[in-house]
Amino acid sequence: MAANKKQNAGQTSLHKVIMVGSGGVGKSALTLQFMYDEFVEDYEPTKADSYRKKVVLDGEDAQIDILDTAGQEDYAAIRDNYFRSGEGFLCVFSITDSSSFDDTQDFREQILRVKGVDSTTAGSIPFLLVGNKSDLETNRQVSQADAQQFADKMGVQYVETSAKTRNNVDKVFYDLMGMIQQEKAKVVADSDKPDKAKTGCSCIIV
């Protein structure tokens, strides 16, 4: 463990987050609110972009890299490359649009397929289900209970946000980064463990 700490000294960790979800749900608005503390009403809907920001996570300097996808990834190969490069996913729908909620299932499945995990190991992929536009309560089409039930079924956390009022915006990004960091720590811990298979094998040879 100490060796690993030393290895990482002077090197800030970088967490790669991908925004997924159908068009118009607020992926760009959430990203820009997190990045620049402002609500952008009319961000170009076809534009995918990436952003980087310094953050402090658990008292340590870190960086977040956000890829804001735009649904123009017509070629599955491009989309798959995006998903493959991601370490964590904010899967966004709008609480005012039930079809965007239905779409989240496809996004989830695509991510798990690209990451090569099945439902038993899906917990290793940092993923949050985000119901955005919580300020538009009067236009709600997806109940909190339905979204929560779906999240429970997938074994993920559900959080409602508003890119307009900034409600829970920091929370979803920081919660996800925390999950990514935990997964990375697990991988390091696993690689620290003595390889029992190898030890056993060399004993036999000796």
How many residues bind Mg ion, per CB under 5 A?
2
CA dihedral sign, ordered 78, 53, 40, 21: positive
The least distance separating Mg ion from the CB of residue 72, rounded to whole angstroms, comes to 10
Q: Could you say whether residue 190 binds ligand GDP (CB under 6 A)?
A: no
Q: How many CB atoms lie within 10 A of CB 147?
A: 20
Both tokens assigned to 42: 């009319």
Q: Could you say whether residue 173 binds ligand GDP (CB under 6 A)?
A: no
Task: Candidates 13, 16, 24, 62: give the one binding ligand GDP (CB under 6 A).
Answer: 24
Q: Could you say whether residue 22 binds Mg ion (CB under 5 A)?
A: no
Both tokens assigned to 9: 């000294």
| C-alpha distance across the termini of the chain, in Å | 29
**Dist. CA 122–CA 125, nearest whole Å:** 6
Task: Candidates 17, 18, 20, 29: give the one binding ligand GDP (CB under 6 A).
Answer: 29
Choose the one of ligand GDP, Mg ion, none that binds residue 86, judging by a C-beta under 5 to 8 angstroms depending on kind. none
Among residues 132, 88, 83, the alpha carbon closest in space to that of 109 is found at: 83
Task: Candidates 22, 28, 132, 181: give the one binding Mg ion (CB under 5 A).
Answer: 28
How many residues bind ligand GDP, per CB under 6 A?
18
- Footprint of Mg ion on this chain (CB under 5 A)? 27-28
